[in-house]
Amino acid sequence: MQNGAQIEYDYSVAKAFTFSTILFGIIGMTIGVVLAFQMAYPELNYLAGEYGTFSRLRPLHTNGVAFGFALSGIFATWYYVAQRVLKVSLKESPFLMGVAKLHFILYFITILLAVVTLFMGITTSKEYAELEWPLDLLVVVWWVLWGISIFGLIGIRRERTLYISIWYYIASFLAVAMLYLFNNMEVPTALVSGYGAWYHSVSMYAGTNDALVEWWYGHNAVGFVFTVPIIAMIYYFLPKESGQNVYSYKLSILAFWGLLFVYVWAGGHHLIYSTVPDWMQTMGSVMSVILILPSWGSAINMLLTMKGEWQQLQTNPLIKFMILASTFYMLSTIEGPIQSIKSVNAIAHFTDWIPGHVHDGTLGWVVFMIMAAIFHMVPRMYGREIYSKSLMDTQFWLQTTAIVLYFTSMWIAGITQGMMWRAYDEYGSLVYSFIDTVNVLHPYYVIRAIGGLLYLVGVFMFAYNIYKTATAGRVLDKEPANATPMAA
Amino acid sequence: MFHWLEQRPFFFAVAVFLAVAFAGIIEIIPDFAKQSRPTVGTKPYTILELTGRQVYIKDSCNACHSQLIRPFKSETDRYGMYSLSGEYAYDRPFLWGSKRTGPDLMRVGNYRTTDWHESHMWDPVSVVPGSIMPAYKHHFTNIADIDTAYAEAYTVKTVFSTPYDQDLDGDGQIDVPLGTYEEAKAAALEEAKVIAADMKNQAVKDAVANGQVPEIVALIAYLNSLK
């Protein structure tokens, strides 16, 4: 291929991951909505015998959305963005093409097996690391395949300088590899003893150490799955869709290196007032507050990228999704540090404020950004116009309302419960029994469930719009440079 | 410097890794040896308790119940003495949880009985009106997997030197026996008979009499051991 000639990109793997993003998104979020209704109406625990209880479904929800939906989205965007910013096509390397396809196949099989085993109650119990060792090994295999794809494509790139998005994908790959390996160190018991279930294992770490490693992992799995690669996306898709240059290169450097250095320290904020050493809890607390700087650095960089072009918010719903995502990222990254302050944590920890925080971050930032990325990619991968702009707009407002219902109700629920747990009467006795503090939450659980349901309806609208775009959208004669064309 | 790095993927990746790994090295490694020391009196779980612990994990009880009492008066009044690191020395994995949809269970063995747990797991609302916890009736019929619990105990004994078959308090007797597979299985059944004697459910009693251990019996043994 000559320099300057149009490179023909190959989207087969990006398309496959786009499909799995939508599939696992629907599964994971549907289970989430079921869980939300179960908390408001406990009779719903008995829809599927032992397989339908809240406790069995909860790991399915978290794994489904984090490792099914979000990871699929990350991989889909990787196989789309990488070719474009590195100026190289997957077609040029049959080896990397094979790696990419194998990556998808093994990944898809793993997630399906994860769904089945978690339904069966096969779990290590460690949050976001529930999968047992045979599946962990599978994860390692396709994670390495992704690494080969990253460094392989970089190796044959034509564009010498790595664009910001690539930095973030590299960081995500390396950090998750490190975290995942250390946290999942476990000894298969059947191999040692010759008895019992072959897939069972026991953690290499005990008690407080186990907690330390788990939250070092758990916090940063959030960081390097729900933050870092999502920033990779917004750095590509927002400038591309808006036609604007990234506001500040210096700010992007500061935000990137700052985030990498500070993020991992903050894991200690999950263990405040626990039995881990005090200095580590304080460190977790302090670093969480410092983390505001690099987080807001990226977010502000994105908002200022729109400088002088804010009217695009009115004309292009895709820009609206991304700007709101960035705004929710700011909300979430100021809320987390507040919860990490020791005296606030004393009230917030163990309450519904925590899932509230997680969900304004995930629903508002992660899911919005991934959906925006797909809305941008699908018309270019299929050469078709977005099927319906008005459906997109409706979806946007429906889901924004849903998120507000979700986090406001959980803020109130969490603070209410935290305050009730510690309420004393004038004789020095606890005022409330535990069940009092559960029953008072009923209305908030109902509001949250409704919020979740509205959001899920939005996800179905999204899936329908994408399906129609890929199959029935007006065919484009050439690829749009910036604003994605959409039918009214 | 950054321009230079951005054109050299290898050095870039090394720099990224160092930035990310730094915190883990400082935070985690120094405290490993110190934090795994058991508190005086902490003993490993018996086979039946460990079986119950696996039932607890299988049904993700930790999704709604913590096992970590923070050092506040409002917590010690409600749940008992705050948690000490050494009490968890034999917990693989730890089960602190991150959400209290239900109450903390760190010391539930101090204030609940076999009888209470049986009624509660069969129908939570019958003992806690307004409870939103699901009933776990399948624990009364599913047979517990003692083999896997034995495998786990054997593994932690051989790989991590967890003190099974040892005299911990110096009274000349083995504190928590493990022994061979057959011995462990027989011991678990004996322990199950003691629990079943305090239970009302006839099917469970019959199963134990026939040499089988329903999950509920193991789970109650575990919950009773949490003190």
Confidence grade of residue A418 (pLDDT, cut at 50, 70, 90): very high
Asked if A125's CB is within 8 angstroms of B20's CB, the reply is no
**What residue spans define the domains of chain B?**
2-35, 47-225
Per DSSP, the residues of A321-381 read: HHHHHHHHHHHHHHHHHHHHSHHHHHHHTBSTHHHHHHHHHIIIIIIHHHHHHHHHHHHHH
Asked if B61's CB is within 8 angstroms of A197's CB, the reply is no
Residues in chain A closer than 8 A to B101 (CB atoms): 39, 438
Question: DSSP letter at A485?
Answer: P
Asked if B152's CB is within 8 angstroms of A189's CB, the reply is yes
Confidence grade of residue A222 (pLDDT, cut at 50, 70, 90): confident
Residues in chain A closer than 8 A to B66 (CB atoms): 350
A299 pLDDT above the threshold of 70: yes
Asked if B84's CB is within 8 angstroms of A275's CB, the reply is yes
Asked if A49's CB is within 8 angstroms of B27's CB, the reply is no
Asked if B92's CB is within 8 angstroms of A206's CB, the reply is yes
Q: How many CB atoms lie within 10 A of CB B41?
A: 10
Tens digit of each residue's pLDDT (9 = 90 or more) over A374-390: 999 999 999 999 999 99
Which residue of chain B is at minimal alpha-carbon distance from A431? B74
Tens digit of each residue's pLDDT (9 = 90 or more) over B95-141: 999 999 999 999 999 999 999 999 999 999 999 999 999 999 999 99
Using CA atoms, how far residue A224 sits from A136, A151, A216, A245, A372, in Å, is 18, 18, 12, 25, 19
Q: Can you give the pLDDT at residue B215?
A: 97
B30 pLDDT above the threshold of 80: no
Asked if A49's CB is within 8 angstroms of B138's CB, the reply is yes
Asked if B12's CB is within 8 angstroms of A274's CB, the reply is no
Q: Can you give the pLDDT at residue B35?
A: 59
Which residue of chain B is at minimal alpha-carbon distance from A162? B6
Which residue of chain A is at minimal alpha-carbon distance from B64? A55
CB B138 within 8 Å of CB A50: yes
User: B205 is written with which tokens?
Assistant: 């009693």
Tens digit of each residue's pLDDT (9 = 90 or more) over B72-86: 999 999 999 999 999
Query: Looking at the partner chain, which of B6, B130, B148 has a beta carbon nearest the beta carbon of A435?
Result: B130
Residues in chain A closer than 8 A to B60 (CB atoms): 55-56, 58-59, 121, 123, 125
Per DSSP, the residues of A105-168 read: HHHHHHHHHHHHHHHTT----STT--S-HHHHHHHHHHHHHHHHHHHHHHHT-S--SPPHHHHH
Distance CA B125, CA B112 (A): 16
Query: What average pLDDT does chain B have?
Result: 93
Q: Can you give the pLDDT at residue A1?
A: 45
Euclidean distance between the first and the last CA atom of chain A, given in angstroms as a whole number: 39
Q: Which of A44-53, A82-91, A155-164, B19-28 has the lowest mean pLDDT?
A: B19-28
Q: Can you give the pLDDT at residue B31?
A: 67
Q: What percent of chain A has pLDDT over 90?
A: 95
Q: Can you give the pLDDT at residue B33?
A: 61
Mean pLDDT across A242-252 = 95
Helix extents (H) in A243-291: 249-263, 278-290
A406 or B22: whose pLDDT is higher? A406
Tens digit of each residue's pLDDT (9 = 90 or more) over B154-186: 999 999 999 999 998 888 899 999 999 999 999
Tens digit of each residue's pLDDT (9 = 90 or more) over A426-474: 999 999 999 999 999 999 999 999 999 999 999 999 999 999 999 999 9
Residues in chain A closer than 8 A to B136 (CB atoms): 50, 53
Mutant choice from A55, A56, A344, A448 vs B, greatest count of B C-beta within 10 A: A55
- CA torsion angle for A141, A146, A152, A158 (degrees, to 10)? 180
B34 pLDDT above the threshold of 70: no
Query: Looking at the partner chain, which of B35, B152, B154 has a beta carbon nearest the beta carbon of A208?
Result: B35
Asked if A53's CB is within 8 angstroms of B66's CB, the reply is no
Which residue of chain A is at minimal alpha-carbon distance from B94? A207
CB A465 within 8 Å of CB A488: no
Asked if A192's CB is within 8 angstroms of B131's CB, the reply is no
Asked if A209's CB is within 8 angstroms of B32's CB, the reply is yes
Instruction: Kindly report the pTM of this predicted structure.
Output: 0.95
Distance CA B196, CA B83 (A): 30
Which residue of chain A is at minimal alpha-carbon distance from B99? A350
Mutant choice from A166, A209, A273 vs B, greatest count of B C-beta within 10 A: A209
Q: What is the ipTM of this complex?
A: 0.94
Q: Is the dihedral of CA B207, B212, B216, B217 positive or negative?
A: positive
Asked if A182's CB is within 8 angstroms of B102's CB, the reply is no
Query: Looking at the partner chain, which of B60, B93, B131 has a beta carbon nearest the beta carbon of A56?
Result: B60
Asked if A355's CB is within 8 angstroms of B99's CB, the reply is yes
- CA torsion angle for A133, A134, A137, A141 (degrees, to 10)? -160
B39 or A361: whose pLDDT is higher? A361
Distance CA B97, CA B152 (A): 21
Nearest-Cα distance to chain A for B25, in Å, is 10
Asked if B133's CB is within 8 angstroms of A421's CB, the reply is no
B29 pLDDT above the threshold of 90: no
Give strand pairing partners of A188: A201
Q: What percent of chain B has pLDDT over 90?
A: 85
Query: Looking at the partner chain, which of A46, A121, A212 has a beta carbon nearest the beta carbon of B58?
Result: A121
CB B204 within 8 Å of CB B214: yes
A111 pLDDT above the threshold of 60: yes
Using CA atoms, how far residue A316 sits from A260, A324, A388, A471, in Å, is 33, 13, 12, 22
Asked if B181's CB is within 8 angstroms of A195's CB, the reply is yes
Distance CA A465, CA A460 (A): 8
Mutant choice from B98, B111, B154 vs A, greatest count of A C-beta within 10 A: B98
Which residue of chain A is at minimal alpha-carbon distance from B181? A195
Q: Which residue has the tokens 């609302």?
A: B125
Mean pLDDT across A82-102 = 96
Confidence grade of residue B25 (pLDDT, cut at 50, 70, 90): confident
Tens digit of each residue's pLDDT (9 = 90 or more) over A158-197: 999 999 999 999 999 999 999 999 999 999 999 999 999 9
Using CA atoms, how far residue A481 sits from A240, A435, A485, in Å, is 8, 58, 10
Q: Can you give the pLDDT at residue A134?
A: 97
Domains and CATH numbers, chain A: 12-472 (1.20.210.10)
Tens digit of each residue's pLDDT (9 = 90 or more) over A126-163: 999 999 999 999 999 999 999 999 999 999 999 999 99
Residues in chain A closer than 8 A to B28 (CB atoms): 212-213, 216
Mutant choice from A275, A288, A430 vs B, greatest count of B C-beta within 10 A: A275
Query: What average pLDDT does chain A have?
Result: 95
Mutant choice from A125, A151, A159, A261 vs B, greatest count of B C-beta within 10 A: A125
Confidence grade of residue A6 (pLDDT, cut at 50, 70, 90): confident
Nearest-Cα distance to chain B for A160, in Å, is 6
Mean pLDDT across A301-305 = 96
Asked if A178's CB is within 8 angstroms of B20's CB, the reply is yes
Nearest-Cα distance to chain B for A271, in Å, is 9
Question: Of the candidates B31, B8, B137, which has an alpha carbon nearest to the alpha carbon of residue A274?
Answer: B31
- Apex B207 CA angle, B203 and B208, nearest 5: 120
Residues in chain B closer than 8 A to A34 (CB atoms): none
Q: Which H helix or E strand runs over A202?
A: strand A201-203
| CATH 3.40.50.1000 corresponds to the domain B47-225 | no
Tens digit of each residue's pLDDT (9 = 90 or more) over B183-199: 999 999 999 999 999 99
Nearest-Cα distance to chain B for A145, in Å, is 17
Q: Which residue has the tokens 């993927």?
A: B9
Mean pLDDT across A106-120 = 97
